[in-house]
Structure 1
Amino acid sequence: MRQFPLMVGNGILTLDTNGSVHDSAANKLGDWTTEGNRIKIRNAGGGSDLVDVEWSFNDRNQLTLVQGGQTVFTIMSGTDGLPGFHLDKNRLVVDPDGDRDFTFTLDCLWGLNGDGNLVLSIGGKESVIDGFIEDTKSRLRFQFDDKDTSTFPNSLVFAGQWERVATATTAIHLHFVLEDPALEIAGTPMTLPAEVRVDPLRNHLALVYESKSSGTHRLQFMGSFEIRPDFTLSFRIDDVKDSGLRKSRIEVETSFAFDVVRGNLQLFVGRERTAQSQVLEVGGALSAKLKNGQLDWSFAYRKATSGGQSSVTVATALSFVSKNQSILIKYTQNGTQRQLDVTAKFTNDNFTAQGGLSIVNDPQGRSVKAFVGVSF
């Protein structure tokens, strides 16, 4: 329990972190809270007073209270308490000493800077909290601690939903739309600090980035995943009701190739591959079957973080010829002709082939190889 002085009217009162208000003789006069980011004194005999103050975080991640240009209180960790912070519908809830007997709320505007640190504005005064984004349930969860004590981190979980940044056509960048979009700082939108990739072990989105102050951190998305026939990736992000995260869908247009070593599908963000195209890797199994003169070539993949399999046809309009113990496959994908060579050992008309898939003639200049199992 801590105390601090505050000028109220023509006199100085003492405010306690248990919510009580006292005069200079330690007589209790009432209690206090916040209203519109001002301090509200509720007098025991009735009536109330509103006091103008300023709130901001200092460079030690400590919330400060300023009146008349002077800092009158710094909410910091110590032997008399560990302050706590959380969000309630994107309003900042402050427990000034961490004992849960008294809290107050502040109305903030929010943003993220390029380092992934949280920017907030309280009553027009902007400050930055140095911390990191990390979660395993798709949530925008920002964690930070008091730099002078480095105790367990506080966790701010924002309410809203994810969307893709429309202007990023060659990479996946995600923006968090707050439940009330008016609470976002226009100059520092709630956009993640790095491009999001696909985790091939789970086949869903993941952010992995380096915080300048706290190392590597990961935001893991949960939900379902679909590769559409035109190679648009569709990610559904599940809602988390207890945190206010609403479900959303992220659509990503790609072109495809194959991983050289593992046989996984590699996708390049954008309908046309460029030097700037982000490379995504999707885990699964490539297979091709020849029956009655028709080649069925598909890619089986995990379609949800909770399990379940699906498949996608990798190419359409396929034809083939046999030559020198190999099959030359010609196909059309997205209106572009491709030619591939699948080496195999022939045994009359029925045989099994494994390995050696390569693009031998590609208008886009790729040289791509992958393992493939072919049964005839």
Structure 2
Amino acid sequence: MASFQLKKGADVFDCDVFGPVKKNGNQIGAWTTSKDNKIVINQTNGSPLTFDVTWKFNSDNHLCLSSGGNQIIDFHNVGNRPVCGARTAVLLTKPDKGAAFTFELRGEWDLDENHNLSFTINGAKSTLDGFIDDPLGGFVYHFRNKKDITQESLLAFVGKWQVNNSGAAAGALIMDFVYSREDGSEDKFTLPKSMIINRANNQLLYQYDKNNETFNIQIAGLLKISKDFEITYTIDRQVSGSGAERLTSTTFTLGAVFNKPNLSGDLELTIKKTDGTAGSTTLTIGGNFTAMLGANQLQVGYSFSQIRSGNTINTVFAFNGTLNIAHNGQVQFTFEKSASSQLSVSISAENIQLGSARANAALNLKTQDGKVVGIFGLFGVSF
């Protein structure tokens, strides 16, 4: 059995990695960790012994223990198969995945711009070289034993997603993951990059490359867009296999502007800065431009779909603006709200069918010289 030694005065304690402790060859108790990350030997005589130690992960993502400034064991290098997990931001370590014995460590977690996760225990900072990846939209950090990449640990944090205020002010969709600690307090991880919309399913997506691999956090939720391009996204609640909540449902709303030169292809909306100008993040929503007949005029809009609980949800919304004919004779749509004081975008001839004036005035446009023409089709919709 793998073990490490701790000393107190002239006494030497042989600690098995699975908990039992011997002194002079006789078992005298078992070790565990305290809430301040010391090792505690609970002796069978009822008298506990405590030891100040240092816990750190090395550059191979191995958890190591030191005492008196000297490393006394690398838990990943003694013939076992350790595995780590997390519960309420407490690090849980099994010296072997097949054994029941587990010990706990508490510290401060941080995420850097390279998607490395640091863990500081009593002032000793370690850096885990791993990745965030979760198809269910939570914050799950994976790291592997670099000496044997088949050995992988997952740290799942419980919490909620919210928009980072500094990012939103700059017109970027940067997200914070606010997670719960053991004592009920909260802390957060800020993702280094901006979110996008996965145009294949119109769900929120965080995607990045690291060490020649691509990783994703697919955050399922309901997307809504107003006629003035206000984007609202309600993130779905997620539960674990045991029914415990792992992701709280939250909703955020951001203003956006239409910045395309025409009404073709996918809808592209750029997040607005706090001053109302276009920011740095553009979201692409997969779908089709469409038309619908309003009470007083023909309206331009957009149609998109999402898969929700196995069902396809179709959404159609109209833009706030008017159809008109420009001086060059081309039909255009003028938005009432845009990145500039007024934005007009052209509609290609293949997307509109014009003819003689219609009896329904809502289907008519007037040219610059006063001639009235009728609309018989727009974006594949006939009228």
Per mean C-alpha deviation after superposition, the further-off stretch among 320-329 and 331-340 is 320-329
How much has 1:156 moved relative to structure 2?
A: 0.5
How much has 1:347 moved relative to structure 2?
A: 4.2
Partner residue of 1:332? Answer: 336
Deviations 1:228-286 (A, max 9, x none): 23312112222223263222223222111448796211011115444x52111011221
Partner residue of 2:123? Answer: 124
Partner residue of 2:290? Answer: 287
Partner residue of 1:158? Answer: 157
Partner residue of 1:41? Answer: 41
Alignment partner of 2:192: what SS?
A: coil
Partner residue of 1:366? Answer: none
TM-score under structure 2 length normalisation: 0.82
Letter in 2 for 1:333: K
How much has 1:159 moved relative to structure 2?
A: 1.4
CA contact (8 A) 1:136 1:219 kept: yes
How much has 1:77 moved relative to structure 2?
A: 4.8
Partner residue of 1:115? Answer: 114
Q: 1:227 aligns with which of 225, 231, 245?
A: 225
Distance in 2, Cα, partners of 1:194 & 1:338? 29
Letter in 1 for 2:177: F
Change (3 A) 1:178 1:73: same
Distance in 1, Cα, partners of 2:74 & 2:27? 23
Partner residue of 1:215? Answer: 213
Partner residue of 1:256? Answer: 258
How much has 1:194 moved relative to structure 2?
A: 1.5
Letter in 2 for 1:138: G
Alignment partner of 1:253: what SS?
A: strand
How much has 1:114 moved relative to structure 2?
A: 0.8
Distance in 1, Cα, partners of 2:193 & 2:103? 34
Letter in 2 for 1:133: I
Partner residue of 1:270? Answer: 272
Change (3 A) 1:49 1:328: closer
Letter in 2 for 1:201: A
Distance in 2, Cα, partners of 1:150 & 1:341? 54
Partner residue of 2:88? Answer: 89
Please list every run of 5 or more consecutive structure 2 residues that lacks an aligned counterpart in the other structure: 359-377
CA contact (8 A) 1:135 1:141 kept: yes
Letter in 1 for 2:254: V
Query: Does 2:288 match 1:310?
Result: no
How much has 1:346 moved relative to structure 2?
A: 3.4
How much has 1:375 moved relative to structure 2?
A: 2.6
Query: Does 2:192 match 1:171?
Result: no
Distance in 2, Cα, partners of 1:38 & 1:148? 28
Change (3 A) 1:108 1:59: same
How much has 1:15 moved relative to structure 2?
A: 0.5
Distance in 2, Cα, partners of 1:239 & 1:291? 36
Partner residue of 2:11? Answer: 11
Q: 2:299 aligns with which of 284, 296, 299?
A: 296
How much has 1:345 moved relative to structure 2?
A: 4.2
Letter in 1 for 2:382: S
Distance in 2, Cα, partners of 1:266 & 1:52? 57
Deviations 1:17-57 (A, max 9, x none): 221001232x1111111112111101112221111111111
Deviations 1:195-228 (A, max 9, x none): 11111111121111121x3522111111211112
Partner residue of 1:193? Answer: 192
Change (3 A) 1:19 1:312: same
Alignment size in residue pairs: 348
Distance in 2, Cα, partners of 1:239 & 1:292? 39
Per mean C-alpha deviation after superposition, the further-off stretch among 300-309 and 333-342 is 333-342
CA contact (8 A) 1:111 1:190 kept: yes
Q: What does 1:359-370 align with in structure 2 at a 5 Å threshold? A: none
Q: 1:372 aligns with which of 369, 372, 379?
A: 379
Alignment partner of 2:40: what SS?
A: strand
Distance in 2, Cα, partners of 1:136 & 1:289? 36
How much has 1:99 moved relative to structure 2?
A: 2.1
Quote the RMSD (CA, aligned, Å). 2.8
TM-score under structure 1 length normalisation: 0.84
Change (3 A) 1:250 1:10: farther
CA contact (8 A) 1:20 1:32 kept: yes
Deviations 1:95-135 (A, max 9, x none): 01222221111112111011001011111211100001111
CA contact (8 A) 1:259 1:266 kept: no
Distance in 1, Cα, partners of 2:58 & 2:320? 57
Change (3 A) 1:340 1:143: closer
Per mean C-alpha deviation after superposition, the further-off stretch among 227-236 and 286-295 is 286-295
Letter in 2 for 1:346: L
Deviations 1:145-169 (A, max 9, x none): 1111212321101111111111112
Query: Does 2:354 match 1:346?
Result: yes
Distance in 2, Cα, partners of 1:139 & 1:18? 31
